[in-house]
């Protein structure tokens, strides 16, 4: 039906264009003939030819031209629609590349990239590293799908508690990073405690009739703009290690001189290099 309508439209356009051209041809022919020969017995024969010949030539040419023009317009519309779909697909791919599939939070790479940008925009920032307690035992006892469900519950609390401008991402297996812009350390402690309390109140049921208490340990560290990201991450990680060492399910603010989280592979390599140098 659409194709028939388009054909009728093309024929109509070609007829209108041809009629205008034939009328113009008749006017030019009449003026030229009258100027040169005046009115005689051949005048009307010439006018009939001036009417028929241009119509025979113009109508097929105009019909072909209008048909091709409509086809080009259809192709242009299809290309425009395809370009729009391609842009949407690229946006979806970019979003999927930046989003963690299990929790819906941004992934580690995107979190670290935005971390640097956000820190430059405000003078006082606070970093929280949130780690699920005894998460390995959940995976071992109930399976990884149940562990993923636990992470989803924790991420839902983070989304609920955090403010509009806060940056939240999953930066490890059971580890989450939170950047609190325009926030002092005291405020960061309050927010961290809210997160810890909300998660501790979750009714997690890994199996029917079986309940498991979810808790998290949270390391807190200030992030001045002048400090490198690696140092801030290491400070928050040290505070998290201290929270684990004190019994888990607690929030700890980093303080200078706090014991760093052990790095056995790094320390083993460092010791091996030291002995090699001494030898």
| HEC readout, the chain | CHHHHHHHHHHHHHHHHHHHHHHHHHHHHHHHHHHHCCCCCCHHHHHHHHHHHHHHHHHHHHHHHHHHHHHHHHHHHHHHHHHHHHHHHHHHHHHHHHECCCCCCECHHHHHHHHHHHHHHCCCEEEEEEEECCHHHHHHHHCHHHHHHHHHHHHHHHHHHCCCCCEEEECCCCEEEEEEECCCHHHHHHHHHHHHHHHHCCEEEEECCEEEECCEEEEEEECCCCCCHHHHHHHHHHHHHHHHHCCCCCEEECCCCCCCCCCHHHHHHHHHHHHHHHC
Beta-bridge mates of residue 181 = 125
Q: Which of 174, 175, 185, 189 is catalytic?
A: 174
Going by C-alpha positions, the residue among 152, 276, 144 that lies closest to residue 204 is 152
The C-alpha atoms of residue 31 and residue 39 are separated, in whole angstroms, by 11
CB-based contact 125:222 (threshold 8 Å): yes
Catalytic site includes residue 174 = yes
The catalytic site residues sit at 174
């Amino acid at each position: 039906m659409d194709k028939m309508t388009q054909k009728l439209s093309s024929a109509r356009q070609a007829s209108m264009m041809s009629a205008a051209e034939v009328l113009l041809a008749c006017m030019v022919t009449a003026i030229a003939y009258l100027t040169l020969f005046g009115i005689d017995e051949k005048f009307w024969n010439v006018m009939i030819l001036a009417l028929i010949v241009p119509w025979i030539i113009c109508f097929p040419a105009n019909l072909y031209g209008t048909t091709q023009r409509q086809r080009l317009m259809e192709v242009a519309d299809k290309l425009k629609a395809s370009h729009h779909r391609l842009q949407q697909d690229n946006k979806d791919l970019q979003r999927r590349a930046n989003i963690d599939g299990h929790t819906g939070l941004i992934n580690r790479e995107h979190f670290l990239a935005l971390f640097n940008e956000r820190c430059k925009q405000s003078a006082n920032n606070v970093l929280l590293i949130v780690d699920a307690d005894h998460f390995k035992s959940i995976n071992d006892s109930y399976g990884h799908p149940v562990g993923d469900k636990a992470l989803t519950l924790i991420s839902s609390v983070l989304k609920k508690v955090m403010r509009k401008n806060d940056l939240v991402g999953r930066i490890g297996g059971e580890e989450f990073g939170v950047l609190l812009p325009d926030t002092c350390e005291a405020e960061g402690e309050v927010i961290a405690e809210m997160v810890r309390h909300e998660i501790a109140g979750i009714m997690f049921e890994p199996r029917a009739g079986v309940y498991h208490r979810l808790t998290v340990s949270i390391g807190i560290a200030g992030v001045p703009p002048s400090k490198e990201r690696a140092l801030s991450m290491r400070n928050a990680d040290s505070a998290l290690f201290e929270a684990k060492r004190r019994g888990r399910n607690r929030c700890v603010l980093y303080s200078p001189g706090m014991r760093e989280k052990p790095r056995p592979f790094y320390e083993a390599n460092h010791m091996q290099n030291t002995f090699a140098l001494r030898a």
